[in-house]
A and B are shown apart, each in its own frame.
Chain A
Amino acid sequence: MAEVIEEKVEAKVKEPKEPLFSKKNRKLLTDPLADNNPITIQVLGICSALAITAQLKPSIVMAISVVFVLGVGNVVISLMRNIIPSKIRIIVQLVVVAALVIIVDQVLKAFAYTLSKELSVFIGLIITNCIIMGRFEAFALGNGPWKSFLDGIGNAAGYGVLLIIVAFFRELLGSGTLFGAKVLGDPIEKTGLYAIGYENNGFMVLAPMALITVGIIIWIQRSKNKALIEDH
């Protein structure tokens, strides 16, 4: 929560006009990709990371959807930030997210029906994704629309990158495919790797393995960048 207050205070100070892609603004975009990743550092949005990362395609669609919802949502909330009464701000935020999510859902249903069936309830559940409410509360309510936009895109991209990494390993090791293409050979015809006795790891397609994969990524990230390790 300390972060929230800090950023709000920072916004109140009148700043001189700065260029669109100043160093600070670029940091808003790139920080969440690695050193302030919403999943591995802030540990937000884990539920959807578990649910839809068994395959690459839904993960990428999910990532794009969240980029859209969070990017646009952050701008909308930021534009309204001075007229939202703070007592009902959560409700206002929910209405904004819900509207955006319905747009995404309808677009998917119209143009990618099978994929939307595959993702089923999880598109709707973007509403409850903690990253979105988290960024609204922590950033959009205290910053201008351009900064909020960058922050939204950055955080959603950080989330999406992780989703795609996890899905890559889960699909490759769990089903032996990438985007549905049988890259390791055919398990039934016994070609490729399967000819020498390799078998798909059924554990990888189960949810616990997504959690463990995220854990391993967190482990690798923190052992590379010791500054990320919390004191305890």
Chain B
Amino acid sequence: MGLKDKLHKLKLKYKGKKMAPAFNAIHTFLYLPNETTHSGSHVRAADDLKRTMNTVIMSLLPCLIFGMFNAGYQHHLALGEIQAVSGGFLSAEFWTLDNLIVGLWEVLPLVVVSYGVGLAVEFVFAVIKGHEVEEGYLVTGMLVPLIVPVDTPLWMLAVAVVFGVVIGKEVFGGTGMNILNPALTIRAFLFFAYPTWMSGDKVWVHGAVERANEIAGGAQLDAISGETILGGLAQGKEILAQTASHGKEVTYSIADAFYGFIPGSVGETSAILILLGGLFLIFTKIGSWRIMVSAVLGALIMGLIFNGITNAGWIAESSKFYALMDLEFWKHLIVGGIAFGIVFMATDPVTASQTNKGKWIYGFLIGFISILIRVFNPAYPEGVFLAILLMNVFAPTIDHYVVQGNVKKRMKRLKLKTA
């Protein structure tokens, strides 16, 4: 008797009891159900919720694997143990076993904690409420480790996951009923609760925090600086230059930023892999291309406006907003988390606008507001998660007005016809 039958027997045995949803969840997660629907209408389609979620996870996997290598690479690079990449995306300096081992050691616990705690909360709620465990956490659990700094303490992540899943999702009625994207709720909680772990120049490179503590304790070591490009730009440094250098002044080339060899949250750095993931989502019709395109447009337009302001000389070069305003508009897309946010967060079908016209407005405003926050918030120059959460709140309103507008238009047409 295989595991499948055993689970099925357990399920039948506990039917109607409190633990039933838990067995059922494990059973349907691992296998096809033993029974099919007996009555009512049948839809034969392959794209159920689980398939949808798996597709998103597949599109995220390259980012996760790259993030692991990058965690190790940034660590070794900061310690001066290896040379910077020189040969494009497939540089031998980057894809080494050493890098992967450090990355696995650092990133895998984040993934385990995220899934472990999140699914535990889901199971508890399913048992209490007596409904089935929902698949909703599968994608969230994968997104969470990708949008936090690599050195995030695990207990903080656990607290944030509990908060995000309970307050962000379960209180509204579980998967599909949430107003805010749970992964971003978790990120926002971490940012507001423990800001020292979520911003600054120490948290993005594994080991930098410990090193700083040791130096503070009197050890004779070189400090590691690993600020993100946005952080550097916000302080007015020329961190994004034509050529990369890792001497006294660290600079990154545009190719570095595009390929993702830069410090940042685990999965957000590689624009090229995010682009591939986005194309995969569009190709499989899981993600909305309207949201992605309009968000990119919104970001570019806001960037252009700021470029126009600096070109016209309306703002003094000494202003603390100048450096980010002066960044060429298209470079905004390859630094920071905006690409990741647009492709994987803004397109969340539950929290985004549902109508096609609404999706254009929703996406556009996400891009637009992201850059706005990024420029005018030098203390924490990353606005995309705030912008998406804000637009999550407004998505139902946008939909309402789109639908009402359509109703009005049709009424008018009807009147014309009957008149």
Contacts and interface: CB of A to CB of B under 8 A. Distances in A.
Interface centre among B192, B194, B196 (most CB of A within 10 A): B192
A203 B189 contact: yes
A203 B193 contact: yes
B195 A219 contact: no
A197 B194 contact: no
Contacts of A203: 189, 192-193
A199 interface: yes
A202 B195 contact: yes
Nearest to A198: B155
Interface of A: 197-199, 201-204, 206, 212, 215, 219
Given A197-B153, A201-B159, A206-B192, 13 more contacts: A197-B155, A198-B155, A199-B156, A199-B197, A201-B193, A202-B192, A202-B193, A202-B195, A203-B189, A204-B193, A212-B167, A215-B171, A219-B171
Interface string B148-178: 0000010110010000000100010000000
Interface in B183-209: 189, 192-197
Contact of B194 (A202, A206, A215, A219): A202
22 contacts: A197-B153, A197-B155, A198-B155, A199-B156, A199-B194, A199-B196, A199-B197, A201-B159, A201-B193, A201-B194, A202-B192, A202-B193, A202-B194, A202-B195, A203-B189, A203-B192, A203-B193, A204-B193, A206-B192, A212-B167, A215-B171, A219-B171
Nearest to B193: A203
A202 B159 CA distance: 13
Contacts of A215: 171
Interface centre among A198, A199, A219 (most CB of B within 10 A): A199
B53 to A, nearest CB: 28
Contacts of A201: 159, 193-194
A215 B166 CA distance: 12
Interface centre among B159, B193, B197 (most CB of A within 10 A): B193
A198 B196 CA distance: 13
Nearest to A204: B193
B234 to A, nearest CB: 21
Chain B interface, >50% SS class: helix
A53 B351 CA distance: 32
Interface of B: 153, 155-156, 159, 167, 171, 189, 192-197
Nearest to A206: B192
Nearest to B154: A197
A209 B171 CA distance: 15
Contacts of A204: 193
Contacts of B189: 203
Nearest to B159: A201
Contacts of A197: 153, 155
Contacts of A212: 167
Contacts of A219: 171
A203 B189 CA distance: 7
Contacts of B171: 215, 219
A80 B81 CA distance: 84
Contacts of B197: 199
Contacts of B196: 199
Which 6 pairs of residues, A with B, have the shortest CB-CB distance? A203-B193, A203-B192, A201-B193, A202-B193, A199-B194, A202-B195
A199 B154 CA distance: 12
B179 to A, nearest CB: 13
A219 B167 CA distance: 11
Contacts of B193: 201-204
Nearest to B195: A202
Nearest to A208: B192
A78 B5 CA distance: 73
Nearest to B189: A203
Contacts of B192: 202-203, 206
A219 B128 CA distance: 14
Contacts of A198: 155
Nearest to A223: B128
A203 B194 CA distance: 8
B148 to A, nearest CB: 15
B157 to A, nearest CB: 13
B63 to A, nearest CB: 27
A14 to B, nearest CB: 48
A219 to B, nearest CB: 7
Contacts of B167: 212
Contacts of B153: 197
A202 B197 CA distance: 11
B169 to A, nearest CB: 14
A164 to B, nearest CB: 22
A217 to B, nearest CB: 13
A201 B160 CA distance: 10
A187 B155 CA distance: 17
A215 B153 CA distance: 28
Nearest to B153: A197
A215 B163 CA distance: 13
Nearest to B188: A203
Nearest to A212: B167
A219 B189 CA distance: 20
A197 B159 CA distance: 14
A62 to B, nearest CB: 25
B210 to A, nearest CB: 12
